Homo-oligomer: A and B are copies of this chain.
């Protein structure tokens, strides 16, 4: 157990997850492999759901349905069914029917109302969901519901991911233990036709809907909306945050916000780190911006630049590409004010080249490229725009030949 920000601590996630929540994950035969492909979150009565969904115009109907049901019920829902294998996107009316059949059936098994259930899908676009296999296995799924089952649920939502993405943290507020858990899938993109990022957060400190929506929006902006593997937004991107349990006093909201931020950033960074073909996590911190949006925009544009990403891959401290990418973010700044650091080395000071040893910076980047899943795989770039007081961070990864291979050598 390591102390986080003198408040939150990481907990072994095979321990009991946030109070009142149950998780399940099984194989229902939706994937060609025998891997798990169906997950369920059952939230306690009175739980409050907040959802954020893909900004793409081309959305799976399940995404529209989720948004509608959260709105209709003012956030009071009970369960999320999640399948991998088929994204149920671009499947027309059949897609909508499958959503309705599956959520009606699981509601019946759980003794709740159909419209208290959300359903998120990920996998192949344009292919109908294997609805018979799915429905047939719903009783098995319900049997798997447990208080310490984050592992199964997290496994069941993966597609091309190479790593599990799950996290559990806890803190104590006035003698009361509070837990927040999260799990996610995403290799940062769509392949082959995979649709893309799903993440789910549960928290056992009760917070009313309006405030919860705000807190979730803040966390998502600084996490899932601040990562880029290849600049692609998918048809199914969804994030749902749920809280339940005794209400917590307003004065502790900043602590809860911090916890939500930690969970979301942990999952988001692991999605970026798991970007296809990636060898490192790229972390860009922008300081001295006029506001947080500007800071995140600049950071994200740098993370998203093919030229920065290939330079990092080649361990090349190519400051010209970093600055050029920053200049394309749409955010106004003056190059003559800009400080740029790569790792501990200052490259630019007030827009002028600083004395630095390129080989040392090269070695710094190289030391991070040993392969992902290592603790120390983070290449850090820091820019100070010196035009304001705000800061923001974005995460990405290097661009390798492996990325091209994975995404071009797929044959239909």
Contact = CB atoms under 8 A, between A and B. Distances in A.
Nearest to A230: B306
A321 B126 CA distance: 11
Contacts of A313: 404, 408
Given A58-B324, A190-B321, 8 more contacts: A57-B330, A89-B320, A92-B352, A232-B306, A313-B408, A314-B410, A362-B412, A400-B408
Given A126-B353, A316-B410, A327 B192 contact: no
A233 B325 CA distance: 8
Given A324-B56, A324-B234, A404-B400, A358 B412 contact: yes
Contacts of A398: 408
A299 to B, nearest CB: 15
A318 interface: yes
Interface stretch (A161-169, A256-264, A331-339): A331-339
A20 interface: no
Interface string A40-73: 0000000000000001111100000000000000
Contacts of A332: 57
22 contacts: A55-B328, A56-B328, A58-B323, A58-B324, A58-B335, A92-B336, A92-B352, A125-B324, A189-B306, A189-B307, A190-B320, A193-B318, A230-B306, A233-B328, A234-B324, A306-B306, A310-B407, A314-B409, A399-B404, A400-B404, A401-B404, A403-B404
A313 B401 CA distance: 13
Interface string A331-355: 1110110000000000000011100
B321 A193 contact: yes
A319 B92 CA distance: 15
B92 A310 contact: no
B90 A318 contact: no
Instruction: Report which residue of A331, A336, A358, A404 has the largest number of chain B beta carbons within 10 angstroms of its beta carbon.
Output: A404
A330 B90 CA distance: 18
Contact of A307 (B58, B230, B333, B412): B230
A351 B92 contact: yes
A411 interface: yes
Given A191-B307, A232-B307, A318 B404 contact: no
Nearest to A229: B306
Contacts of A403: 306, 310, 404
- Give 7 closest A-B pairs by Cβ, nearest first: A58-B327, A314-B408, A310-B407, A125-B320, A56-B327, A193-B320, A313-B408
A405 interface: yes
A94 to B, nearest CB: 11
Contacts of A92: 336, 351-352
Contacts of A245: none
A59 B327 contact: yes
Given A126-B320, A318-B412, A358-B412, A327 B57 contact: yes
A235 interface: yes
Given A314-B411, A335-B58, A324 B232 contact: yes
A326 interface: yes
B314 A90 contact: no
Given A310-B407, A323-B90, A232 B190 contact: no
Contacts of A371: none
Contacts of A55: 328
A311 interface: yes
Nearest to A321: B190
A310 B408 CA distance: 5
A205 B43 CA distance: 74
A29 interface: no
Nearest to A335: B58
